[in-house]
Homo-oligomer: A and B are copies of this chain.
Amino acid sequence: MDTLTHRRWLYQRHPQGLVGPEHYELVTAELPTALSAGEVLVKARYWSVDPYMRINQSLKPTYNALPHALGTVQTAGVVGQVMASTVPSLAPGDWVEGMLGWQTHAKVHHTVLRWLDPSVAPPSTALGVLGMPGRTAWFGLMESGRPKAGEVVVVSGAAGAVGSLVAQFALRNGCRVLGIAGGAAKCQWLREELGLHAAIDYQAHTSAASLAEAIRAAVGGVDVYFDNVGGWISDAVIPLINRRARIVICGVISQYSGGLDEPELGPRFLHHLLYQRATIQGMLARDYLHRMDEMLQVVGPMVQRGDIRFEETVVRGFDRLPQTLQSLFTGDHRGKLIVEADD
């Protein structure tokens, strides 16, 4: 074969609020399959959709100086299989992971790929528990949250890709864990399947004061708050912090659909930090990329032993990528949300 049909989702328009299909364009072209020295041709099998994608679209500087360029393939983690290789370390059929973007195929230098052993865990876990979300959860909790046995850990977005892992890691560290999630079904899953001590459906509350009262009734004060959500949920949690509490800012998903460019207003809360001599720390997965092996050595065996649950919500169809990204901010998925190739 000299070429193959190559489909790509280009990021074309900046969203003011919620991101969705109208901000993307699907383009099809022929991709020459010839490889240069060191290159590998990969066929994508699973694409990631992640909340950070919306951060990258903010017009103001974020962790990146510039927003995601318009007219380019949406950046994304991908798990795929090698179709052709110029290097002995990767053979056709091998499973690999890399930041290959929302496209059906990619020609890349072999050094940007991580080889996956499908006997350890399903390859799709390289986008979840054994990938960026797992790294975020592990290092965010252990390095920034510093949980101690007997402490109360509250996790927002507790049914999500990162939150559901944080909650389980906290349980294994001997903590009392309360998850906050949207909907009674997610909360039931958190309690009954993951074994959390408590789970609260924020959708059953109409104010931060009411949510705060429910949290207080369930666990008293809060030693570690692992926050994936921000907004009014954090307004409820922060006044409940205990002495020397650690607040980990892992995500602020409630603010991504517009609030990063034009911040919404919320109650000032820094006096609580003063009272409790507490710490808020922002953390990003990229800061622990060089320690990926360390996480895999600890969490890999947990996954193999079946000690932790890694839920995946799999949507089938490359065409559905933009709408699946949108559903991160509106939808009802559990665990890691991924899109699987049609064929």
Say yes or no: B265 contacts A267, CB within 8 Å.
yes
Known A264-B267, A266-B265, A268-B259: A277·B287 in contact at CB below 8 Å = yes
Number of residues on chain A facing chain B (CB within 8 A): 38
1/0 contact string of A218-249 vs chain B (CB within 8 Å)? 00000000010011001000000000000001
The minimal Cβ–Cβ distance linking A212 to chain B, given in whole angstroms, is 12
CA gap between A234 and B270 in the complex, in Å: 10
Check if A277 sits within 8 Å of B270, measured CB to CB. no
Known contacts A279-B279, A279-B280, A281-B279; A252/B267 CB under 8 A: no
Tell whether, in the assembled complex, residue A268 and residue B266 are in contact, meaning their CB atoms are under 8 Å apart.
yes
Structural contact, B255 and A268, CB atoms closer than 8 A: yes
Q: A90 at interface (Cβ–Cβ under 8 A)?
A: no
Q: Are B269 and A263 in contact (CB under 8 A)?
A: yes
Bound-state Cα–Cα, A278 to B287, Å: 12
| Interface check A305, CB cutoff 8 A | no
0/1 interface trace, chain A 268-306, chain B, CB 8 Å (1 if under): 111111111111111110010000000000000000000
A203 within 8 A of B: no
Could you give, for residues 248-266 of chain A, a 1 whenever the CB lies within 8 Å of some chain B CB and a 0 otherwise? Answer: 0111100100011001111
Q: A268-B263, A270-B234 are in contact. Are A283 and B277 (CB under 8 A)?
A: yes
Question: CB within 8 A of A274: which of B61, B251, B278?
Answer: B251
- Which B residues lie within 8 Å of A61 (CB)? 275
Docked pose: A56 CA to B270 CA in angstroms: 16
Task: Say how many copies of this protein the assembly contains.
Answer: 2
Q: A275 to B271, alpha carbons, bound, how many Å?
A: 23
Nearest chain-B residue to A241 (Cβ)? B282
- Least distance between A64 CB and chain B CB atoms (Å): 9
- Residues of chain B within 8 A (CB-CB) of A264 are 267-268
The reply to whether the CB of A62 lies closer than 8 angstroms to some CB of chain B is yes
Chain B residues lying within 8 Å of A234, measured Cβ to Cβ, are 270
Tell whether A277 pairs with B271 under 8 Å between CB atoms, given A265-B265, A266-B265, A266-B266. Answer: no
> From residue A225, how far is it (CB to closest CB) to chain B in Å?
11
Which residue from B270, B271, B278, B282 sits with its C-beta under 8 Å from A273? B282
Residue of B nearest to A284 (CB): B277
B268-A277 in contact (CB<8A): no
Do the beta carbons of A282 and B270 come within 8 Å of each other? Answer: yes
Q: Which of B252, B255, B281 contacts A277 (CB 8 A)?
A: B281
Chain B residues with Cβ under 8 A from A55's Cβ? 271
B271 touches A260 (CB 8 A): yes
B271 touches A252 (CB 8 A): yes
Contact A63 B276 (CB under 8 A): yes
**Please, could you name 30 A-B residue pairs with CB atoms under 8 Å apart, sorted by A?**
A55-B271, A62-B275, A63-B274, A63-B275, A231-B268, A249-B274, A252-B268, A259-B268, A260-B271, A263-B268, A263-B271, A264-B268, A265-B265, A265-B266, A265-B267, A265-B268, A266-B267, A270-B280, A272-B282, A273-B282, A274-B283, A276-B282, A277-B287, A278-B281, A278-B282, A279-B280, A279-B281, A279-B282, A280-B280, A280-B281
Counting from the closest, the 6 A-B pairs by CB-CB distance are: A273-B282, A263-B267, A274-B282, A265-B265, A280-B280, A63-B275
